[in-house]
Amino acid sequence: MESIAVWQGATLGGIVAWILISSYLNVTRKLRSFLQPWVAHHVIAGTPLSIQIQKYQHWFFDALFSGLSCVVSVPFYTAFLPLLFWSGHGRLARQMTLLMAFCDYLGHIIKDMVSAPRPSSPPVRRITATKDEEDNALEYGLPSSHTLNTVCLSGYLLHYVLSYIQHEDVSMKFVGLALVCLLVGLIGLGRIYLGMHSLIDIIGGLGIGLVILAFWLTVHEHVDNFIVSGQNVTSFWAALSILLFFAYPTPEIPTPSFEYHTAFNGVAFGIVSGIQQTYHQFHHEAVARIFTPQLTISNFVGRILVGIPTILLVKFCSKALAKWILPGVSNTLGIPIKSTNYIPTLNGNGKKSDESKQSGYIQRLFFSQQGSFDVDTGIRFIQYAGLAWSVVDLVPSLFSHLNL
């Protein structure tokens, strides 16, 4: 028990120390002044390559690369991961969720720390086929999140599948690796073709993704054991989630990156807290899995029909509850508050300005330049934590009562 408390305290204490030291020494600005000019130079130097690739413009390539970008986007994974939990592959689902949160956090930290530009459009032609892609275009460039996430998640999925089937055939491993490399290559090429990234962004995403994947394959067993059978799991993860907000760097100008991190930070907390409470009921290794007599296709479809509306309802209710509770608590404690998005009456001019669009960062994580608590961060965190909790706790309880 004492050793557990020691490493948890050391971890949280280390993050606090980093926050204080990096803030005092202004680490973000110093790193940016060193890295940003170098990256920007390579973005400009890569423009002719982007234009050359885009000379092969065709509606088929537009559709192919736009579709692939959607398939490996954060919204897609957010929709796909609940199905993975409900299919009986809980271990894979929770590892993919936490890895996704880890990739999302580190990728956006680097984006906002370096604050490097995307390829200039024009001359590069930028294709944003979805609202998600339009939001992505507002972020900084290095590294390519799509490339980074694809390397990590497809690489981990390959590792899991090979471990699960315990197949020693070298040819099977080669085919799996070739498919992963093909997917990563198409994603990287597609991001350049769509005008969303330059070559340096893709190389950065690939390199950082490989480092994260190697690290995760080293620690994933320890992380999983801690979540399912550790002590002080929920309290530790709650403290970690809050500290990660404060450890986030300040970009040159606001982008949607911090909002994405806040959402997935909430998802990770909801999954961890829910799994820790219900592992022996719904998520142990002996649960029914899809394509077995215990979980037929019809039952799985029934789970989807029950589960999807339920988690959407919980997300809506969590958001409404947070919008009602957080302002009241803040007023009771005498904390000045504002909202840049969710509560128009708390916004000074009643509309969302570009300057205040982002709630977060080390010196204004919750406090804006006017000294007000930006309640949107808390609301966003709570609504996604509620959604994730319902995926692994509330919805499996409904499945049990409905014999699904």
Measured CA to CA, the distance from residue 307 to residue 398 in angstroms comes to: 8
Q: 162 near 171, Cβ under 8 Å?
A: no
Q: Compute CA 56 distance to the chain's CA centroid, rounded to the nearest angstrom.
A: 32
Compute how many other C-beta atoms are within 10 angstroms of the C-beta atom of residue 129: 15
Decide if 336 contacts 371 (C-beta within 8 A).
yes
Whether the Cβ atoms of residue 220 and residue 92 lie closer than 8 Å to each other: no
CA pair distance 228, 234, nearest whole angstrom? 11
Catalytic residue (one of 108, 197, 220, 283): 197
Query: Which of these is catalytic: 108, 146, 220, 261?
Result: 146
DSSP result, 326-374: HHHHHHHTT--EE-SSS-GGGSTTSS--STT-----TTTSSB-TTS-EE
Active site residue 89: no
* Distance separating alpha carbons of residues 293 and 275, to the nearest angstrom: 25
Tokens of 190: 């597609």
Give the whole-angstrom CA distance, residue 45 versus residue 247: 32
Which CA distances in Å does 333 have to 28, 329, 337, 340?
32, 6, 11, 21
Residue 82: cis peptide before it, omega within 30 degrees of 0 = no
Identify whether 159 is a catalytic site residue.
no
Structural contact between residues 150 and 183, judged by C-beta atoms closer than 8 angstroms: yes
Task: Give backbone dihedrals phi and psi of 367, rounded to 5 degrees, phi first.
Answer: -115, 125
Give the 3-state secondary structure of residue 177. Answer: helix
Taken in order 387, 391, 396, 402, is the CA torsion positive or negative?
A: positive
So which residues are the catalytic ones? 146, 197
